[in-house]
Amino acid sequence: MADQSKRWILMTTAQTPTNIAVIKYWGKRDESLILPINDSISVTLDPDHLCTTTTVAVSPSFDRDRMWLNKKEISLSSDRYQRCLREIRSRANEVEDEKKGIKITKKDWENLHVHIDSYNNFPTAAGLASSAAGLACFVFALARLMNVKEDLGKLSAIARQGSGSACRSLYGGFVKWNMGKNDDGSDSIAVQLADEKHWDDLVIVIAVVSSQQKETSSTAGMRECVETSKLIQYRAKEVVPKQVADMEAAIKYHDFPSFARLACSDSNQFHALCLDTSPPIFYMNDTSHRIIGCIEKWNRAEGSPQVAYTFDAGPNAVLIARNRKVAALLLQRLLFHFPPHPDTDLDSYVTGDKSILQDAG
């Protein structure tokens, strides 16, 4: 039994990178369990760049669960946080720290409260999958603190209930989220297709077009899209299954031309669904469109794709170059066509915390 009279505190820190979908998840068949209408595939970014760091602490002196995001206290009352907390707490195991003389039994966890301090080193809610890294880290850090013994697949099903795309952030490399068939979501989990070393020639460049929070969240956008788009079910049932199979093969065989064509067309398809929503949702802006134009022109001129682009629910471009040489050329071109504001630190081309691209016209 934990000694409630002592002012002890036990904490752990975890770091989880964000992931970028190359075959997008868009649309739920179950809103509360967060079950998708199609499989999706993503690439997890290098943890040195876009990631969430979360420290979780438990102490008998805490009188309620509390959370801070980027140094501001936020409410933990949403169903999503509550569901993840409940799922993790129900799997908590005994924890013993002999040096500190702390022993927490399974039963103790029911009455102990946690403090969660989370920090994103990149713009939050600006279409850079901050909720993916955030919720994955939330679940992973709590699972570590509470000595939860579940494997990553099971943890991914818990993270999924916090934010769909979060289930893919628990693995590095290329990850597939199987939509699953079961009503309880037990088979709607993420699996690793290939680890981070499998295709390490690829270089991902994030062009932060705007770090403003988006007007329509992914959650609201996909709900409105499912309710009003005539195309979304067609994409999910008729188009995505083949795209997913082709993307898996492209990843397996390092086939960059197929990878790039699939990623670009899937991104454009996803934004077409947003336009097919009533009222239409515009996540990309003119600068995003001009970036697409530049990459398409370049790929056509080379006769074979050199760079893939993909845009999530925001205007920022995720550009995937086939190797470092192409990535260096890509940066040169971006700097030429979209010169940064004079006061911009160029490191923010990758980790950016402000709007850095201006359209050179």
Among 2, 17, 18, 25, binds ligand DP6 (CB under 6 A): 25
Pull the structure tokens for residue 169.
């952030």
Give whichever of 165 and 211 is closer to ligand DP6, judged by the CB atom. Answer: 165
40 binds ligand DP6 (CB under 6 A): yes
Cβ at position 356, least distance to ligand DP6 in Å: 21
* Polymer length in residues for the chain: 361
313 binds ligand DP6 (CB under 6 A): yes
165 binds ligand DP6 (CB under 6 A): yes
Rounded CA separation 14/118 (Å): 10
Cβ at position 302, least distance to ligand DP6 in Å: 28
17 binds ligand DP6 (CB under 6 A): no
Cβ at position 283, least distance to ligand DP6 in Å: 8
Give whichever of 212 and 219 is closer to ligand DP6, judged by the CB atom. Answer: 219
Rounded CA separation 160/136 (Å): 8
β-pairing, 113-120 vs 66-69, is: parallel
Cβ at position 159, least distance to ligand DP6 in Å: 10
Stretch that binds ligand DP6, among 3-11, 45-53, 159-167, 250-258 (CB under 6 A): 159-167
User: Count of alpha carbons within 13 Å of 282, Cβ hemisphere only?
Assistant: 5
Among 218, 267, 306, 348, binds ligand DP6 (CB under 6 A): 218
164 binds ligand DP6 (CB under 6 A): yes
| Per-position b or e across 106-128, b if 16+ CB within 10 A of its CB | eebbeebebbbbbbbbbbbbbbb
Pull the structure tokens for residue 200.
């390490």
Cβ at position 223, least distance to ligand DP6 in Å: 8
Stretch that binds ligand DP6, among 20-28, 59-67, 291-299, 331-339 (CB under 6 A): 20-28
Among 92, 129, 189, 294, binds ligand DP6 (CB under 6 A): 129
In this structure, which amino acid lies at residue 39? D
161 binds ligand DP6 (CB under 6 A): no
Pull the structure tokens for residue 198.
């499998």
Give whichever of 47 and 339 is closer to ligand DP6, judged by the CB atom. Answer: 47
50 binds ligand DP6 (CB under 6 A): no
Which helix (H) or strand (E) segment is 114 a member of?
strand 113-120
235-243 long-range Cβ contacts below 8 angstroms, 24+ apart? 235/26, 235/38, 235/269, 235/273, 236/27, 236/37, 236/38, 237/38, 239/269, 240/23, 240/38, 240/39, 241/38, 241/39, 243/23
34 binds ligand DP6 (CB under 6 A): yes
Q: Give the rounded distance of the alpha carbon of 231 from its chain centre.
A: 25
Contact residues toward ligand DP6 (CB under 6 A) are: 21, 24-26, 34, 40, 129, 131, 163-165, 218-219, 312-313
